[in-house]
Protein backbone atom coordinates (compact mmCIF):
# COMPACT_ATOMS: atom_id res chain seq x y z
CA UNK A 1 0.00 0.00 0.00
CA UNK A 2 1.55 3.31 -1.01
CA UNK A 3 1.23 6.46 1.09
CA UNK A 4 -0.91 8.12 -1.64
CA UNK A 5 -3.59 5.40 -1.28
CA UNK A 6 -3.57 5.78 2.51
CA UNK A 7 -3.83 9.58 2.29
CA UNK A 8 -6.57 9.45 -0.29
CA UNK A 9 -8.74 7.06 1.81
CA UNK A 10 -8.11 9.12 4.95
CA UNK A 11 -9.20 12.33 3.21
CA UNK A 12 -12.50 10.65 2.23
CA UNK A 13 -13.13 9.28 5.75
CA UNK A 14 -12.45 12.50 7.69
CA UNK A 15 -15.48 14.11 6.06
CA UNK A 16 -17.70 11.79 8.13
CA UNK A 17 -18.49 11.91 11.87
CA UNK A 18 -16.88 8.55 12.61
CA UNK A 19 -15.08 7.87 15.87
CA UNK A 20 -12.07 5.93 14.59
CA UNK A 21 -10.93 3.90 11.62
CA UNK A 22 -8.24 1.47 10.54
CA UNK A 23 -7.42 -1.04 7.82
CA UNK A 24 -7.08 -4.81 7.96
CA UNK A 25 -6.19 -7.38 5.31
CA UNK A 26 -8.89 -10.07 4.95
CA UNK A 27 -7.62 -13.33 6.42
CA UNK A 28 -8.84 -16.06 8.74
CA UNK A 29 -9.63 -14.31 12.07
CA UNK A 30 -7.21 -14.91 14.94
CA UNK A 31 -10.13 -15.87 17.19
CA UNK A 32 -11.92 -18.23 14.80
CA UNK A 33 -11.23 -21.21 17.08
CA UNK A 34 -12.87 -19.33 20.00
CA UNK A 35 -15.88 -18.74 17.71
CA UNK A 36 -16.05 -22.42 16.73
CA UNK A 37 -15.87 -23.53 20.36
CA UNK A 38 -18.58 -21.03 21.28
CA UNK A 39 -20.89 -22.50 18.64
CA UNK A 40 -20.02 -26.06 19.70
CA UNK A 41 -21.04 -25.20 23.27
CA UNK A 42 -24.37 -23.82 21.97
CA UNK A 43 -23.63 -20.42 23.54
CA UNK A 44 -25.39 -18.86 20.54
CA UNK A 45 -28.78 -20.17 21.73
CA UNK A 46 -31.39 -19.90 18.98
CA UNK A 47 -29.29 -17.56 16.76
CA UNK A 48 -28.83 -20.34 14.18
CA UNK A 49 -27.57 -17.88 11.55
CA UNK A 50 -24.31 -17.60 13.52
CA UNK A 51 -23.62 -21.27 12.72
CA UNK A 52 -24.56 -20.76 9.05
CA UNK A 53 -22.10 -17.84 8.87
CA UNK A 54 -19.08 -19.86 9.93
CA UNK A 55 -17.50 -20.45 6.49
CA UNK A 56 -17.68 -16.77 5.45
CA UNK A 57 -16.27 -15.72 8.82
CA UNK A 58 -13.43 -18.22 8.59
CA UNK A 59 -12.62 -17.34 4.97
CA UNK A 60 -13.64 -13.67 4.64
CA UNK A 61 -12.46 -13.30 1.04
CA UNK A 62 -15.16 -15.77 -0.07
CA UNK A 63 -17.96 -13.34 0.89
CA UNK A 64 -17.42 -11.05 -2.14
CA UNK A 65 -15.38 -11.70 -5.28
CA UNK A 66 -12.24 -9.54 -5.47
CA UNK A 67 -12.30 -8.42 -1.83
CA UNK A 68 -8.83 -8.32 -0.29
CA UNK A 69 -8.99 -6.02 2.69
CA UNK A 70 -11.30 -4.00 4.90
CA UNK A 71 -11.63 -0.38 5.96
CA UNK A 72 -12.98 -0.70 9.51
CA UNK A 73 -14.84 2.18 11.13
CA UNK A 74 -16.33 2.76 14.59
CA UNK A 75 -19.09 5.13 15.69
CA UNK A 76 -19.90 6.13 19.29
CA UNK A 77 -23.50 5.56 20.41
CA UNK A 78 -23.30 7.34 23.75
CA UNK A 79 -24.64 9.99 24.04
CA UNK A 80 -27.16 8.98 21.34
CA UNK A 81 -25.90 10.39 18.00
CA UNK A 82 -29.45 10.42 16.59
CA UNK A 83 -32.38 10.97 18.95
CA UNK A 84 -35.11 8.53 18.01
CA UNK A 85 -38.80 9.42 18.00
CA UNK A 86 -39.59 6.58 20.42
CA UNK A 87 -42.63 7.08 22.65
CA UNK A 88 -40.54 5.58 25.48
CA UNK A 89 -38.39 7.79 27.71
CA UNK A 90 -38.66 6.30 31.18
CA UNK A 91 -38.22 2.56 30.73
CA UNK A 92 -34.71 1.12 30.79
CA UNK A 93 -33.36 0.33 27.34
CA UNK A 94 -29.78 -0.21 26.18
CA UNK A 95 -27.96 2.97 25.19
CA UNK A 96 -27.42 1.84 21.60
CA UNK A 97 -31.20 1.56 21.14
CA UNK A 98 -31.81 5.21 22.04
CA UNK A 99 -30.89 6.22 18.48
CA UNK A 100 -32.67 5.13 15.32
CA UNK A 101 -31.57 1.76 13.99
CA UNK A 102 -27.84 1.92 13.22
CA UNK A 103 -28.29 -0.73 10.51
CA UNK A 104 -29.87 2.15 8.58
CA UNK A 105 -28.11 5.42 9.43
CA UNK A 106 -24.59 4.07 10.06
CA UNK A 107 -24.83 1.87 6.96
CA UNK A 108 -26.02 4.93 4.96
CA UNK A 109 -22.98 6.90 6.12
CA UNK A 110 -20.73 4.02 5.05
CA UNK A 111 -22.49 3.92 1.65
CA UNK A 112 -21.90 7.67 1.25
CA UNK A 113 -18.24 7.09 2.04
CA UNK A 114 -18.21 4.45 -0.71
CA UNK A 115 -19.47 7.00 -3.22
CA UNK A 116 -16.39 9.12 -2.45
CA UNK A 117 -14.04 6.13 -2.50
CA UNK A 118 -15.38 5.01 -5.90
CA UNK A 119 -14.54 8.43 -7.31
CA UNK A 120 -11.05 8.31 -5.83
CA UNK A 121 -10.42 4.70 -6.92
CA UNK A 122 -12.29 4.03 -10.19
CA UNK A 123 -12.62 0.34 -11.03
CA UNK A 124 -12.06 -0.85 -7.44
CA UNK A 125 -14.75 -2.71 -5.49
CA UNK A 126 -16.29 -1.48 -2.18
CA UNK A 127 -19.12 -2.99 -0.09
CA UNK A 128 -20.34 -1.62 3.25
CA UNK A 129 -21.70 -3.64 6.18
CA UNK A 130 -22.53 -3.21 9.84
CA UNK A 131 -23.92 -6.25 11.63
CA UNK A 132 -25.60 -7.07 8.33
CA UNK A 133 -23.37 -9.75 6.80
CA UNK A 134 -21.32 -12.74 8.03
CA UNK A 135 -18.30 -10.88 9.37
CA UNK A 136 -16.59 -11.47 12.74
CA UNK A 137 -16.64 -7.75 13.38
CA UNK A 138 -14.93 -7.48 16.75
CA UNK A 139 -12.03 -9.58 15.50
CA UNK A 140 -11.74 -7.50 12.32
CA UNK A 141 -11.76 -4.24 14.30
CA UNK A 142 -9.21 -5.67 16.71
CA UNK A 143 -6.99 -6.55 13.71
CA UNK A 144 -7.41 -2.98 12.46
CA UNK A 145 -6.04 -1.71 15.80
CA UNK A 146 -9.35 -0.25 17.01
CA UNK A 147 -9.49 -1.90 20.43
CA UNK A 148 -8.91 -4.99 22.56
CA UNK A 149 -11.36 -7.74 23.53
CA UNK A 150 -12.55 -6.94 27.05
CA UNK A 151 -13.36 -9.75 29.45
CA UNK A 152 -17.01 -8.77 28.80
CA UNK A 153 -16.21 -9.67 25.12
CA UNK A 154 -16.79 -6.09 23.93
CA UNK A 155 -14.12 -4.30 21.94
CA UNK A 156 -12.65 -1.49 24.05
CA UNK A 157 -10.43 1.42 23.10
CA UNK A 158 -8.53 3.15 25.88
CA UNK A 159 -9.60 6.60 24.57
CA UNK A 160 -13.14 5.80 23.37
CA UNK A 161 -14.35 3.15 25.84
CA UNK A 162 -16.59 0.45 24.35
CA UNK A 163 -19.89 2.22 23.62
CA UNK A 164 -19.40 2.20 19.86
CA UNK A 165 -20.64 0.32 16.79
CA UNK A 166 -18.36 -1.38 14.30
CA UNK A 167 -18.84 -1.13 10.53
CA UNK A 168 -16.62 -2.18 7.64
CA UNK A 169 -16.09 -1.72 3.94
CA UNK A 170 -14.66 -4.71 2.09
CA UNK A 171 -12.56 -3.61 -0.84
CA UNK A 172 -10.44 -4.95 -3.69
CA UNK A 173 -7.70 -2.50 -2.63
CA UNK A 174 -4.72 -4.16 -1.02
CA UNK A 175 -4.57 -2.34 2.34
CA UNK A 176 -2.24 -2.94 5.26
CA UNK A 177 -2.92 -2.14 8.92
CA UNK A 178 -2.10 1.48 9.76
CA UNK A 179 -2.51 1.05 13.52
CA UNK A 180 -0.73 -1.29 15.91
CA UNK A 181 -2.75 -4.01 17.66
CA UNK A 182 -4.24 -2.49 20.83
CA UNK A 183 -2.80 -4.16 23.96
CA UNK A 184 -5.22 -5.88 26.38
CA UNK A 185 -5.78 -3.42 29.26
CA UNK A 186 -8.19 -5.46 31.41
CA UNK A 187 -5.39 -6.51 33.75
CA UNK A 188 -6.67 -8.08 36.97
CA UNK A 189 -10.06 -6.31 36.79
CA UNK A 190 -13.17 -8.53 36.90
CA UNK A 191 -15.86 -5.85 37.40
CA UNK A 192 -17.96 -6.91 34.38
CA UNK A 193 -17.94 -10.58 35.38
CA UNK A 194 -18.88 -9.74 38.98
CA UNK A 195 -21.65 -7.30 37.98
CA UNK A 196 -23.43 -9.42 35.37
CA UNK A 197 -26.79 -10.25 37.03
CA UNK A 198 -27.20 -13.61 35.29
CA UNK A 199 -23.61 -14.89 35.32
CA UNK A 200 -23.61 -14.80 31.49
CA UNK A 201 -19.86 -14.11 31.29
CA UNK A 202 -19.00 -17.67 32.22
CA UNK A 203 -15.26 -17.00 32.05
CA UNK A 204 -13.17 -14.04 30.91
CA UNK A 205 -13.85 -13.31 27.17
CA UNK A 206 -16.64 -15.92 26.93
CA UNK A 207 -20.34 -15.02 27.01
CA UNK A 208 -23.14 -17.60 27.10
CA UNK A 209 -25.86 -15.77 25.17
CA UNK A 210 -28.54 -18.09 26.62
CA UNK A 211 -28.06 -16.28 29.94
CA UNK A 212 -27.48 -12.74 28.63
CA UNK A 213 -30.26 -10.18 29.20
CA UNK A 214 -29.44 -8.62 25.86
CA UNK A 215 -30.11 -11.92 24.07
CA UNK A 216 -33.14 -12.75 26.20
CA UNK A 217 -34.88 -9.40 25.67
CA UNK A 218 -33.89 -8.78 22.02
CA UNK A 219 -33.14 -11.97 20.16
CA UNK A 220 -34.96 -14.76 21.98
CA UNK A 221 -38.38 -15.68 20.66
CA UNK A 222 -41.04 -17.17 22.94
CA UNK A 223 -40.73 -17.62 26.68
CA UNK A 224 -37.78 -16.54 28.79
CA UNK A 225 -36.75 -19.19 31.37
CA UNK A 226 -38.52 -18.40 34.64
CA UNK A 227 -35.37 -18.57 36.76
CA UNK A 228 -33.80 -15.73 34.74
CA UNK A 229 -36.80 -13.38 34.86
CA UNK A 230 -36.05 -11.77 38.26
CA UNK A 231 -32.46 -10.96 37.18
CA UNK A 232 -33.76 -9.07 34.15
CA UNK A 233 -34.91 -6.56 36.74
CA UNK A 234 -36.25 -3.49 34.88
CA UNK A 235 -34.46 -3.94 31.53
CA UNK A 236 -37.09 -3.66 28.80
CA UNK A 237 -34.64 -4.06 25.91
CA UNK A 238 -30.94 -4.97 25.91
CA UNK A 239 -28.49 -4.53 28.78
CA UNK A 240 -25.44 -2.33 29.37
CA UNK A 241 -24.29 -3.43 32.82
CA UNK A 242 -21.04 -5.16 31.83
CA UNK A 243 -20.06 -2.01 29.95
CA UNK A 244 -21.22 0.71 32.33
CA UNK A 245 -19.29 -0.87 35.22
CA UNK A 246 -16.13 -0.97 33.10
CA UNK A 247 -13.46 1.45 34.39
CA UNK A 248 -12.53 2.30 30.79
CA UNK A 249 -16.03 3.64 30.12
CA UNK A 250 -16.01 5.43 33.47
CA UNK A 251 -12.71 7.02 32.46
CA UNK A 252 -14.14 8.26 29.14
CA UNK A 253 -17.72 9.15 30.17
CA UNK A 254 -17.23 9.99 33.84
CA UNK A 255 -19.34 9.14 36.87
CA UNK A 256 -22.63 9.70 34.98
CA UNK A 257 -22.31 6.34 33.26
CA UNK A 258 -21.85 4.46 36.54
CA UNK A 259 -25.05 4.57 38.60
CA UNK A 260 -27.31 3.93 35.60
CA UNK A 261 -28.00 0.36 36.59
CA UNK A 262 -27.28 0.57 40.30
CA UNK A 263 -30.78 0.81 41.69
CA UNK A 264 -34.23 -0.14 40.42
CA UNK A 265 -36.19 2.45 38.46
CA UNK A 266 -38.58 4.54 40.51
CA UNK A 267 -42.17 3.65 39.63
CA UNK A 268 -43.69 6.90 38.39
CA UNK A 269 -46.98 7.53 36.61
CA UNK A 270 -45.01 8.14 33.37
CA UNK A 271 -43.32 4.74 33.69
CA UNK A 272 -46.70 3.06 34.28
CA UNK A 273 -48.17 4.87 31.26
CA UNK A 274 -45.38 3.57 29.02
CA UNK A 275 -45.83 -0.02 30.24
CA UNK A 276 -49.60 0.25 29.79
CA UNK A 277 -49.05 1.53 26.26
CA UNK A 278 -46.90 -1.51 25.44
CA UNK A 279 -49.47 -3.96 26.82
CA UNK A 280 -52.55 -2.39 25.28
CA UNK A 281 -51.26 -1.42 21.81
CA UNK A 282 -51.55 -4.14 19.16
CA UNK A 283 -48.33 -5.88 18.11
CA UNK A 284 -48.88 -4.63 14.55
CA UNK A 285 -49.20 -0.99 15.69
CA UNK A 286 -46.11 -1.30 17.92
CA UNK A 287 -44.10 -2.58 14.95
CA UNK A 288 -45.26 0.39 12.90
CA UNK A 289 -44.44 2.89 15.67
CA UNK A 290 -40.99 1.34 16.25
CA UNK A 291 -40.15 0.72 12.59
CA UNK A 292 -37.10 3.06 12.70
CA UNK A 293 -35.94 1.83 16.10
CA UNK A 294 -33.77 -1.15 17.11
CA UNK A 295 -36.71 -2.09 19.41
CA UNK A 296 -38.56 -3.47 16.39
CA UNK A 297 -36.09 -6.40 16.48
CA UNK A 298 -37.97 -7.82 19.50
CA UNK A 299 -41.30 -7.59 17.62
CA UNK A 300 -44.58 -6.65 19.32
CA UNK A 301 -44.93 -9.89 21.29
CA UNK A 302 -41.32 -9.69 22.52
CA UNK A 303 -41.82 -6.13 23.79
CA UNK A 304 -45.04 -7.14 25.55
CA UNK A 305 -43.31 -10.18 27.10
CA UNK A 306 -40.46 -7.96 28.31
CA UNK A 307 -42.92 -5.38 29.68
CA UNK A 308 -44.71 -8.12 31.67
CA UNK A 309 -41.41 -9.19 33.23
CA UNK A 310 -40.60 -5.58 34.18
CA UNK A 311 -44.10 -5.14 35.67
CA UNK A 312 -43.65 -8.29 37.79
CA UNK A 313 -40.14 -7.30 38.89
CA UNK A 314 -41.21 -3.77 39.86
CA UNK A 315 -44.45 -5.04 41.46
CA UNK A 316 -46.71 -2.65 39.53
CA UNK A 317 -50.12 -3.76 40.81
CA UNK A 318 -51.81 -0.79 39.10
CA UNK A 319 -51.54 -2.74 35.80
CA UNK A 320 -53.13 -6.01 36.98
CA UNK A 321 -56.18 -5.64 34.70
CA UNK A 322 -54.01 -5.05 31.62
CA UNK A 323 -51.87 -8.04 32.62
CA UNK A 324 -54.97 -10.28 32.89
CA UNK A 325 -56.10 -9.09 29.43
CA UNK A 326 -52.74 -10.25 28.01
CA UNK A 327 -53.60 -13.83 28.99
CA UNK A 328 -55.91 -13.86 25.95
CA UNK A 329 -52.91 -13.63 23.60
CA UNK A 330 -51.41 -17.07 23.00
CA UNK A 331 -47.81 -15.84 22.49
CA UNK A 332 -47.63 -14.13 25.92
CA UNK A 333 -50.21 -16.14 27.88
CA UNK A 334 -47.64 -18.00 29.98
CA UNK A 335 -45.64 -14.91 31.00
CA UNK A 336 -48.84 -12.92 31.67
CA UNK A 337 -50.11 -15.72 33.96
CA UNK A 338 -46.74 -15.73 35.75
CA UNK A 339 -46.82 -11.93 36.08
CA UNK A 340 -50.38 -11.98 37.48
CA UNK A 341 -49.36 -14.57 40.10
CA UNK A 342 -46.34 -12.44 41.08
CA UNK A 343 -48.49 -9.33 41.49
CA UNK A 344 -51.11 -11.24 43.48
CA UNK A 345 -48.45 -12.56 45.85
CA UNK A 346 -47.40 -9.05 46.87
Active-site amino acid positions: 131
Closest approach, Cβ 187 to ligand SF4, in A, equals 7
Among 212, 312, 335, 336, binds ligand SF4 (CB under 6 A): 212
Pairwise CA distance, residues 73 & 304, whole Å: 35
One-character DSSP codes across 89-152: SSSEE-GGGGSSPHHHHHHHHHHHHHHHHHHHSTT--EEEESSSSS--HHHHHHHTTS-EE-TT
Among 201, 236, 278, 332, binds ligand SF4 (CB under 6 A): 201
Among 31, 130, 198, 306, binds ligand SF4 (CB under 6 A): 198
Give the ranges where 206-298 is alpha helix by DSSP (H).
213-214, 229-232, 241-244, 247-253, 269-280, 283-289
- Sign of the alpha-carbon dihedral angle for 263, 95, 170, 57: positive
Closest approach, Cβ 301 to ligand B12, in A, equals 18
Pair 230, 243: CB distance under 8 Å: no
- Contact between 299 and ligand SF4 by CB under 6 A: the answer reads no
Question: Which CB sits closer to ligand SF4, 140 or 228?
Answer: 228
Cβ neighbours for 142, distance < 8 A, ≥ 6 positions apart: 30, 31, 148, 149, 155, 181, 182
- Contact between 31 and ligand B12 by CB under 6 A: the answer reads yes
Contacts with ligand B12 by CB under 6 A: the residue count is 37
Among 236, 241, 319, 343, binds ligand SF4 (CB under 6 A): 241
Q: Which residues bind ligand B12 (CB under 6 A)?
A: 31, 34-35, 38, 47, 50, 94, 96, 130-131, 135-139, 149, 152-155, 162, 164-166, 205-207, 209, 212, 214-215, 218-219, 238-240, 242
Q: Which residues bind ligand SF4 (CB under 6 A)?
A: 150-152, 186, 189-192, 196, 198, 200-201, 207, 212-214, 239, 241-242, 245-248
Amino acid sequence: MDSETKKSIESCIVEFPFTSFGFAPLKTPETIDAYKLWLKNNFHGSMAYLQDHLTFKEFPKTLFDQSRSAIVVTKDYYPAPQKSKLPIHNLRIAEYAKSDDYHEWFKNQLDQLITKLEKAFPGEMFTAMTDSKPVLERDLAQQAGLGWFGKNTCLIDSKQGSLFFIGEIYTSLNLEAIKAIHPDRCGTCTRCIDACPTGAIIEPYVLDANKCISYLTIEKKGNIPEELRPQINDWLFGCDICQTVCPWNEKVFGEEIKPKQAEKLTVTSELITELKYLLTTSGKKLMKEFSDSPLSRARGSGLKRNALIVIANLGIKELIQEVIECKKQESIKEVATWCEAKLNSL
